[in-house]
Amino acid sequence: MKKFQAQPGFVVQAYRFALDPNAGQEAALRSHCGAARAAYNWAVGWVEASWWQRRAEESYGIAEEDLTPWRPWSLPSLRKAFNEAKHTDPRFCGWWEENSKEAYSTGLANAAAAFDNYAKSKRGKRKGRAVGMPRFKSKRKARLACRFTTGTIRVEAGGRHVTLPRLGPVRVHEPTVKLLTHVQAGTARILSATVRHERGRWFVSFQTEVKRDLVRVARPDIAVGIDLGIKTLAVMADSSGEIREVANPRHLSAALVELRRASRLVSRRRGPDKRTGQKPSRRWEKANAARNRVHHRVANLREDALHKLTSAVAAEYGTVVVEDLNVTGMVKNRRLARHIADAGFGEIRRQLGYKAKRNGCRTVAANRWFPSSKTCSGCGVVKAKLPLHIRTFECDACGLVIERDANAALNLAALAAAAATGTAVGGDLDTGKVSKPRGVDQKTRTTLPSCKAGQRRAGGATLPHQRQQETRDRTQTEALTLW
């Protein structure tokens, strides 16, 4: 095996494989993941104990300088405190030596990250929703996961086994040829390995540093606009005028009959009850496992279909234009929430974002308020209203009649030229700053056909639709965001 040398052109990439552990190895995997959870709970309790102690002392009027000092939550501090407590703490005595030290380090690192997120959110330095104090992880609900960063971590030469610290060689369900080829050629180095139990199986993910050569797309000069929907998953229109449709497989809808039958069977068994402390029966656990298998199969089918779609798009076109959809707001529609979640709009955009970089493909996101469906792809006139149930676009100005989604895809494809040259395309955008969350105060304005050059009002004033036409060049580039 050639020696690995860090050189320009290396990227960090993950390789995930399904495992087929035997009974002893599965018990060891669960023990390591349980150790990570126990270390996390210990760290949360150890740090928060000083918080509650200070609050109690403050209630008695103790001065600030006499209060119990704050306990640090940095990873080195947690490791030092845990190494001192594991020998005497009854929660770890007698069994902590059975697992790798990496299992406890995983829990401590997760606790340190949780406290950092809480502190940053409290100070307003973290974007997104407010993050609360870290809470203890339940034994029944916590996700089984453990990360290894040191020790023996390798892919065996046969391609059917991986070696992990304290676990030894574990058989994989699928060959590891893709990663093994890079490792043997000296073009990859394994940085860490994470084992996780999800969808009823054990998986191992190797974080690697791999040398990746840029693979050019098949049609670098062609831009494609992708309009996502429920009836048709994706309508793709490229700059050459070709329009293609990708049918929505509707994996969840196809499995609803089987899922309802499995759920009905679960409801007729004696399940767990937190209020009374009732334990689930064996028949409930079997029925629940059968229902979970249906959910897992649907998730696997959806993931496979989306990966095939995004890989094909990122390998063919030089520029991909998609919409910045408000998926969080869309799923609040109780009639369409299930279908929107089943389609996976957000996952399509996420996958296109990182797959396009591999092939030198440029990805452009249209502004959320760009009226792609209301704009005529022929003359650029924008309709004031276009209800969702109207599936055919009819232009009142030029008489163009086209399918609604195909018209939107053509408008999105035209945005690629605007992003590159700054020229105007059909559609009028309001690019002012949003004063309300999610831009709910923005409305699409109607753009009238532009008049001939030089046509002015008395006194040299421009007409309203002329002013809109003149500002379109300036606002178009601002309405686009490059990923």
- From 227, 245, 316, 342, the catalytic residue: 227
- Residue 347 annotated to the active site: no
- From 245, 316, 405, 428, the catalytic residue: 405
- Residue 441 annotated to the active site: no
- From 102, 238, 316, 323, the catalytic residue: 323
Instruction: Give the chain as a 3 state SS string.
Output: CCCCCCCCCEEEEEEEEEECCCHHHHHHHHHHHHHHHHHHHHHHHHHHHHHHHHHHHHHCCCCHHHCCCCCCCCHHHHHHHHHHHCCCCCCCCCCHHHCCHHHHHHHHHHHHHHHHHHHHHHCCCCCCCCCCCCCCCCCCCCCCEEEECCCCCEECCCCCEEEECCCEEEEECCCCHHHHHHHHHCCEEEEEEEEEEECCEEEEEEEEEEECCCCCCCEEEEEEEEEECCCEEEEEEECCCCEEEEECCCHHHHCHHHHHHHHHHHHCCCCCECCCCECCCHHHHHHHHHHHHHHHHHHHHHHHHHHHHHHHHHHHEEEEEEECCCHHHHCCCCCCHHHHHHHCHHHHHHHHHHHHHHCCCEEEEECCCCCCCCECCCCCCECCCCCCCCCEEECCCCCCEEEHHHHHHHHHHHHHHHHHHCCCCCCCCCCCCCCCHHHCCCCCCCCCCCCCCCCCCHHHCCCHHHHHHHHHHHHHHHCEEEC
- Residue 227 annotated to the active site: yes
Give catalytic residue positions.
227, 323, 405
